Amino acid sequence: MIPVTKPYLPSREKLDKYIDGIYGRNWLTNNGPLVQELTRRLEEYLGVENLLLVSNGTLALQIAYRALEINEPVNGRSAEAITTPFTFVATSSSLKWEGIEPVFADIGSDTWCLDPNNIKPAITSQTKAIIPVHVFGNACDVEAIEGIANENNLKVIYDAAHAFGVQYKGESLLKWGDAATLSFHATKVFHTIEGGAIVFKRKKDFEKAKLLISFGITGAETIEGIGINAKMNEFQAAMGLCCLDEIESILSSRLRIIEQYKEKLDGLVTFPVWKPQTSQNGAYQPILLDSQETCVEVISNLTKQKIFSRRYFSPSLDELEEISIEHISQTSRDISKRILCLPLYSELSNSDVELICSIIQITLNTKGNL
């Protein structure tokens, strides 16, 4: 069996040493020494400041919304945030959970990221923020989005769940926006089993978020606001430190696999157009087929060989009544019907990639796509 992804498991010996330390200190949570160490090392590795570790990537979004106060009502009604329908559901469901109405703007047909040209028409008197997604680690048009935000006095929070380690113009992509959130879920390039982080542009927002993730508690007998429990624990941090020690090997192997996919499938399928001067981290291997029927057939033929793929992201979120009302994004709906993410993880062998590509080639040849 070839799964669509597989969590990376680092050196057990190294992990055991970290766990021995946890047992010795008997300090399991509440900003323990491993959480502090991981924070320092991630800031150094990523080239950022004001990085706050949290217990998962969805809470990272929710804390960022509250730290930047975009959850506060406007004119007695729910605030609105403009976002993309082509993403994992957490981007929008976290907005709804915080009482913010997601307003969808369509994506670009080549990059599959939020198209800045579609943001302006969606701005209303209720709009407080833009929530773009660096889809599959591909950078949004950050300059254009920043310009729109500045003109309209809007906050920008990037869902950068896929963008760990990605650089744009030689600097961390996470530096763009008022905040950028990361997911450290087990399936991500870098993981802490479950977990996430927020990178804030401003120190004051970072300090506010620190209170929010720990019930607003500032001392043994001091509470300075309403918060929640979103702290990362020491066991999560231990896994993260081990994975960070091996991150260059992880990235190298994933990028090798992506290059192999591109070499074998070039001309047969469509790949996203990468924003110039943006590095890749091998987070996903998406391909776009010519039709929904072709996509379903490729999935079926792969599954017959116990090879599992996923239709990230389908359906387009503007099709979900629970999230969206009358926000139709035609490009997102079209791409969501034809998108497919192929297996990608560090241990995936060259022969496995060869097999996957051969099945896709045979399927498309049979349909007369050559």
- Cite the active site residues: 188
* Whole-number Å distance between alpha carbons of 107 and 173: 19
285, 340 contact by CB (below 8 A): no
Q: What are phi and psi of 168, to 5 degrees?
A: -130, 120
Residue-by-residue DSSP string for 66-93? HHTTTTS-BTTB--EEEE-SSS-THHHH
Around Cβ 102, how many Cβ atoms within 10 Å? 22
* Whole-number Å distance between alpha carbons of 292 and 289: 7
* Whole-number Å distance between alpha carbons of 137 and 275: 10
* Tokens read off for 284: 């996903």
* Tokens read off for 13: 């010996």
Helix (H, G, I), strand (E, B) or coil at 25: helix
E strand segments, 160-244: 167-168, 171-172, 179-183, 196-200, 217-219, 222-223
Based on the number of CB atoms within 10 Å of its own CB, is 359 exposed (0-12), middle (13-18) or buried (19 or more)?
middle
56, 196 contact by CB (below 8 A): yes
- The distance of Cα 265 from the centroid of its chain, to the nearest Å, equals 25
- Output Rg (C-alpha) for the chain, integer angstroms: 21
Amino acid at 263: E
107, 331 contact by CB (below 8 A): yes
